[in-house]
Amino acid sequence: MAWIVLVLSGVLEAVWATALSASDGFKKVVPTIVFVAGMALSMVGLAFAMKEIPVGTAYAVWVGIGASLTVVVAVLRRQEAASVTRLALVLGLVACVVGLKVVS
């Protein structure tokens, strides 16, 4: 259960990071609300997962999932350019997250 919550918390990290960008410096209300709610839920989930998963592993997985998905969303929204190098690096992050799960 802790791993499922951790993965969902990583997804919420991408949600709040994307909403933070969309909030335009907290000038837009809806993205700001999504940012605050997403961040709070993401942190609660991370804290829950850390009851069973070591802090270093949990944090690395949380950040890896959030960072990878944030890049994917930015590329899909055409806010960042896609490239083979970028794709390879994001896949490397995903491979590290999977590796941490395998060895845990």
pLDDT digits (tens, 9 = 90+) for 10-68: 999 999 999 999 999 999 999 999 999 999 999 999 999 999 999 999 999 999 999 99
Q: Give residue 97's pLDDT.
A: 86
Give the pair of three-digit tokens for residue 43: 């942190």
Q: Give residue 7's pLDDT.
A: 95
- Amino acid letter, 78: R
d(CA 38, CA 11): 9
Q: Give residue 100's pLDDT.
A: 86
DSSP E strands, the chain: none
Give the pair of three-digit tokens for residue 18: 């994307």
